[in-house]
Amino acid sequence: MEKDHKTGSDKVAKAGAGYVIGNYLLKGITFLSAPIFTRLLTTADFGLYSTYISYVQIFYIILGIALHSSINNAKYKYKEELDEYVSSIILMILGSAFIWTILGNIFFDLFKKPFGFDRVILNCLIFHCLGDALIQVFNIYVSLNYKVKSFLRMSSFNAIFNLVLSIILIITLFNEERYIGRIVGSFLPMGMIGIYIVFYFFKKARPRFNLDYWKYALKYSLPIVPHGLSQVILSSFDRIMIKSMVNADAAGIYSFSYTINSLFLIAATSLEKVWKPWGYEKINEKDYESLRKQATKYALGMAFFAMMIMLVAPEIVKVLGDKAYWDSTSCVVPVVIGGYFTFLYSIPSLVEYAHEKTGYIAVGSACAATLNIILNYIFIPIFGYIAAAYTTVVTYILYFMFHYIIAYKIQGFELFETKKLLLISLEVCCVGACSLLAEEWWYVRWLVEIIVCVMAFFWADHNFNLVSMIKRKLHKS
């Protein structure tokens, strides 16, 4: 029995590492290619492209009706029929894309001014969102069985094609309007991946209308739509507001701080793909003790990573960005702290998802998004674009607290180690403050960075036998 448990743990650990690598390729292209694009694009071009991506992040949730979120639970409800279920909900996503394409082109003149892009970019946006919605379905599906290789193959294709095609288009066809080259270079690979995913699932199970599947999917997923939109508003709408209330250059500089934050968030979202299925199993088995201990380890491990990024943020900005982007340094620390609380929310929200209480998730997220918009509307005109970074931190802290309380009420008892999670969160905030205060004193920040790295190494060795694992790898090679 112990052997089986160990084998299962190894599988989860390997899958977690695989998803981290894959997501760094898939979503981390923004970070990895930053030194190239900050030199090819002006701050205004960068701001326009970031605004387009913000629209994609908002609209793909509406177009896809967040149907991917129902797959984890559908695995337990429909069991052997999961392939048929996934094939059926893909039909819904395709139907939704068709409807939005018709409506978008008929009523384009109504929202042309607030949208800020032409009709061609609108259609790129719709099909980009379709590809995004489909890839979310694929990612959830393969994560259920820890099929990391499939995920890695797809993410590698997207990363390489996105980078190469964008550069070619920027310096050739769209040399005068370079942000369009970046948009098209991002859209085309996603569209090709979307086509592949449709054929992949339709081959596994013939697509058909199934009222039972659709009712269940909509009942579960519809409350997630306002939640997903609210999360995007929290993470992206500030860039849209800055572009509107300040200018595109300010939006570009501020957006660059999120490029640094992608270092943290990519790891967090990748590990969540393993954390969720594993957590569902533990709640289903009522193995609360394992869940409690692993949640604390999970939070501390990501805290170390967030602290490491914040302490060397000024150097990362200067290496990755052109001088025009260096002003974003002051935004990086609060943005990363906000990112940490975004990640931390995934721990209590697991309870809400597992018990299918998605209505609570929608309410909490909508309230947080509304608060964030109000705070940005008040403080951006007073303090400039940097205010958006701090309003986001405040909002995410309250967001996490709300969901933690709801999880406690749903479960009926304290499922997680509250005091330890609060202490870890406080440490992240203190290190962030240290990084800001010592921004000009690089030797102080790097001394603290070394201390944090040593602590993280000993923690990883204690929990995951890191030294023994490295020795085994070296011995094999």
Is 2 exposed, middle or buried, given 0-12, 13-18 or 19+ CB atoms closer than 10 A? exposed
For residues 115 and 250, membership in a common domain is answered with no
**Cβ(371)–Cβ(398) under 8 Å?**
yes
Domain's final residue, options 222, 237, 257: 222
For residues 193 and 304, membership in a common domain is answered with no
Q: How many residues does the chain have?
A: 477
Q: Helix, strand, or coil here: 50?
A: helix
For residues 242 and 376, membership in a common domain is answered with yes
Burial state string for 281-292 with b = 16 or more CB within 10 A and e = fewer than 16 = bbbeeeeeeebe
Token duo for residue 187: 């859209």
Angstrom distances, CA of residue 415 to CA of 23, 269, 353, 421: 29, 22, 15, 12
Contacts for 293 with CB less than 8 Å, ≥ 6 apart = 417
Separation CA 260–CA 291 (nearest Å): 30
Q: First and final CA of the chain: distance in angstroms? A: 31
Phi-psi region for residue 157, left (φ > 0), alpha (ψ -120 to 50) or beta?
alpha
DSSP at 233:
I
Phi-psi region for residue 322, left (φ > 0), alpha (ψ -120 to 50) or beta?
beta
In a domain, 5, yes or no: no
For residues 177 and 287, membership in a common domain is answered with no
Separation CA 89–CA 452 (nearest Å): 45
In a domain, 2, yes or no: no
In a domain, 106, yes or no: yes
**Cβ(220)–Cβ(70) under 8 Å?**
yes
Angstrom distances, CA of residue 293 to CA of 14, 57, 77, 248, 424: 19, 33, 28, 45, 14
For residues 393 and 340, membership in a common domain is answered with yes
Is 79 exposed, middle or buried, given 0-12, 13-18 or 19+ CB atoms closer than 10 A? exposed
For residues 251 and 324, membership in a common domain is answered with yes
For the chain, 477 residues long, the average pLDDT of each consecutive 10-residue run is 44 57 59 74 80 83 88 81 91 93 85 71 89 88 72 77 88 86 88 91 88 89 79 72 77 78 80 78 82 88 91 84 75 89 87 78 82 89 86 90 88 86 93 88 90 88 67 59
Separation CA 158–CA 188 (nearest Å): 9
Q: How many CA atoms lie within 13 A of 26 on its CB side?
A: 24
Amino acid code (one letter) for 464:
F
In a domain, 371, yes or no: yes
pLDDT given at position 1:
37
In a domain, 476, yes or no: no
Its pTM stands at 0.69
pLDDT given at position 468:
66
Q: How far is CA 409 from the centre of its chain?
A: 27
For residues 41 and 57, membership in a common domain is answered with yes
Domain's final residue, options 222, 247, 270: 222
For residues 173 and 231, membership in a common domain is answered with no
In a domain, 265, yes or no: yes
What is the residue range of 120's domain? Answer: 25-222
**Cβ(310)–Cβ(445) under 8 Å?**
no
Closest CA to 372 of 223, 225, 232: 232
Cβ neighbours of 240 (radius 10 Å): 19
Token duo for residue 322: 């052109």
Q: Where are the alpha helices (H) located in 82-177, listed in sequence order?
A: 82-106, 108-115, 119-144, 148-171
For residues 442 and 410, membership in a common domain is answered with yes
Domain's final residue, options 222, 257, 291: 222
Cβ neighbours of 401 (radius 10 Å): 16
Separation CA 226–CA 243 (nearest Å): 23
For residues 170 and 286, membership in a common domain is answered with no
In a domain, 165, yes or no: yes
- Angle at CA of residue 296, ends 294 and 301, nearest 5°: 95
Per the listing, tokens 């337990």 go with 76
In a domain, 128, yes or no: yes
For residues 161 and 65, membership in a common domain is answered with yes
Q: What are phi and psi of 440, to 5 degrees?
A: -85, -15
The domain total for the chain is 2
For residues 139 and 256, membership in a common domain is answered with no
- Angle at CA of residue 221, ends 103 and 282, nearest 5°: 155
